Structure 1
């Protein structure tokens, strides 16, 4: 198998086999770097893990610490008996042991040699750190334990291919062999894993560079130099060469190395014993023979692996609902899964006329105005039109200008065009940059490519739908504000007209030195009414006042208002017929005044040559078992044509000229509906009558009479 093919496949398998880092280890490293954390805090942390608690109690009550004392019955006593250094060693080692055990397929391999090497490296790293006065000695211990985690990860990802390398000596040739065979070294794989766990960046670098020549890292971060020297000591022992490395990297002498090696040997045995790790014959551990894979099982495993990858991809995309972040996530995931050198994403525009480059991380400037007309032809446009995957080579003849531009922008020898489609069509295309030698491997993984495209498309469509809904919502809200503004402007005209007319009445009364108390009271009411209308603008819908009102008093007050304010010309007479008794209906006085103000104003406007208007309390109506008071507003005008009647209660453009919004009756309809009333209209050449049904307050169980007698006329 070619190195580039193995590398691409291994990277995707590493992503699947990567176990989660125990949260306890993250918290523990935080505690280890703090000077203010006591044993009670460590006890609280350990108590959350039953296995860890059992390990600590077992060590505390072992012969090494018990020595005739009373057994440690609780966790805090056990921690005090063991001491802080051994506590940290046990906790870190136990957490890392969980990580190692969780790497898939590692259980079939003898890990004793690996464990001995890891614990030795951890102990030596901590001793070197202490000798150098490096403040975070437990961080050095963890880095030493994990410095070869990449070997275990590669074994889990490719057990058949990597088994021999896993047990090979870790000399200077190992990384070269891994690079040639797999396209990735265990140092690179380990650093990538530590970065995936979001541990300290210098810890990842200490793993990445532990095979580097000493001269390259002499000025590097102390942790990088500590792990490098640890690697030399573990693999070569206390030689003159290692002593020279120790002096160059850490300022240590041969005598220091002898002391470190002697102490490390004792501490390794002690730590292994307490952790229950059998290191006997660890150096003779050999790779377990791996039988040839069964083709059916291999195919099933690849299918399961693809499902696992796509599940993780879908979860990643779901975490980025905002389009820019989602596009970045799609681009980065494609790079990792398929080893693309670079990625560009082009989306179909809203008019479906062209592909427009999306501003993803790394291409916000270079591709900011790049677009491909869908009707221009070319390999990319054809791939979108035919919804099929396409490969483009720089060496091909007759490439279109857009393909040449993308090859140059992405600095690629080849392009893979992956349409992002669903049943409704294509939303865009992902263009991956790659080398020609990667083509064969990607052709074998086209099923995974199409699955990735489906997940990316679903995430993009969901995001587009959410943005469309948000845009529609904003447009709807803007329209509601426009309607509310028109409504308020219309309704404010009514009290303004009354105020204007009453000012004329005031002028005349003042000249005659008559009392104006009634007029002042009405003016104050109308000014308050204007304030209420303006305040209600934020509510978008006509506001109704809670409560009840005597409809007879409202009717008579409106008739007096129209008469006294000269709202109606002298040629129009307005009369009201109501009973003497109070008649309580649902709805506040303000809402009822607004309803009948608009109806009376409409009636006046229907009588340009004069006529009669009558507003009548026509008594009770029983409709479907519910009682209403019927109020009729009639005029003797010429009636309304059928086309006007058909759209009577809808907002329309008024034909009455300046100052008319065409909203009066739609406002009336809305207010009546809000108080659970009903409104209708009859019109003929003999006149027009509006019938308003207002719910009676406190519906009685039994109706004694069908109609209330009309007793007097105003």
Structure 2
């Protein structure tokens, strides 16, 4: 990545690129339409270099970088989404609406935009004619090839404006002036901007070398040569008598005949005339490819009018942010939307929000996408004198900077750590206050010059931070109301559960008493004792399940329940009781494949019975006659350093559909079958988790379904130590 001189780099950290009012208005009108397509928006963006640069910068920021490579404007727009695009459009439109007022920056950019559009159209035409893989990339390179001029003019107006005036309308005269005054040039600045987007292409090289000699670019990549030729041809076409030999040499660099290249130039000129008219760019007889600098005379101060204008500007600028924050449904989403809006509105990258937690006198950062991970461990103690600019902003409720002069002394360690983590020279800290309460601090990583520029917009920065704090306060209040409602609902449910436990217990007790009477009255010789015992056990199990409704779930140790059981014996007992009613009557075969011997399992009998019966019942209901269900066991299954016994229940049925597999262990809700609660597998999953185990499912269409249940294995007892016998003396020969 290119390294720019430090003063220039600081001045460029705030991206402030002028946009034609016609382009800004067209984009704002389009993005607010319900029926607008991303392709239509991409077509508008690709006509205007400053707008394209802003979209590319935001799309390639830390918050969106995780979503894959962004190699075209259409991809960028799709990633950003309509809400973010609306914020971009509104901020540009408001700024341009106020740009023509007294004291606004002076300049005439019509010739610059015509030149950018011309080079873009021609570079794309050359890429198509030479069969390059990415013609859209060539268009973007042409559109942005002089974006460094806009950056330098926006970042260093007092220095760069006179350079433009001295160069007149000749780009070749501008480059040496730039290098003498700034130790860099606009081509290098444009390449630096593209480097920040981390695009996997030669676009940055193309911008960097477009003022080099033809000999330098003769062996360069196709994109660099296409841009160089497009730039040269626009300059040649501006001459009253174009040099045919120069066209021939330019065409030779890209492998095109001079006549074909001339036709491409003519077609590009016609296309640009149409686009310029649509954008409201004035036609001039001899347009300059450079921004024309006309310093405006100082206007007489009008403080009331200026204050009113600032207020209206802030209201209009922050309206898109208001909509963006209102749509957020979590605290991280709220802060992430604000971070991206700060980048769009103020050109500040990687803003960090340090929040105050309750009554604690500590500021800490919430984790956000693309944020340095060490920030999550950074805390600012507000009770110490060395809390730095962040602490002063939170305690005093005013914007503070690490560049402030005065008795504050050296920078606080927390400020230094935060600035180092963000790769900045210093910080501008804006308090986030709502209702007289400071909820936190918005820390902006800035250089000295950028801090000075932002201090001229403190009113807007304060309104921005206040709006965010208000939404944050509202969101937290709503979350607290939701928690109170959930707690009240839970209390009502627990009370209802206790009533159900009480009411169900009475009839269950009566049924057990009648079963005891039935057993006593049975004639001798009638063998129903085992069946009656099963009924007794099942009634007891139902009673225990119902009692658990009114009690919190028991905590289970990491190694599983203290109770142990023989898994094989438990499964065999369940088969004796349920094989006939569940499977035999349905014509389904139940097969047991139990490992012998099997290590003891840590589980309680009621939970295991519920797990097996739920899975067997589901299989019996889903399988046709003639199907087979196999239940098998195994031990010494290793998982994450622990031992488990395994219970596998498999069938040879049709398998489960893909949409069922996606949410297999979740309650079915309204999609359940008639007569079913839709809770069986979710209950099984919860029981297995409570026992300290795990459950998984494999299912293939036409090849059946397998449930694998891992339950903690009881460790084998350590062998008792054996005392060693004293060695016997050797036997004499």
TM-score normalised according to structure 1 size: 0.48
Higher relative contact order (CA 8 A, sep 6+): 2
Which of the pair has more CA radius of gyration?
1
TM-score normalised according to structure 2 size: 0.47
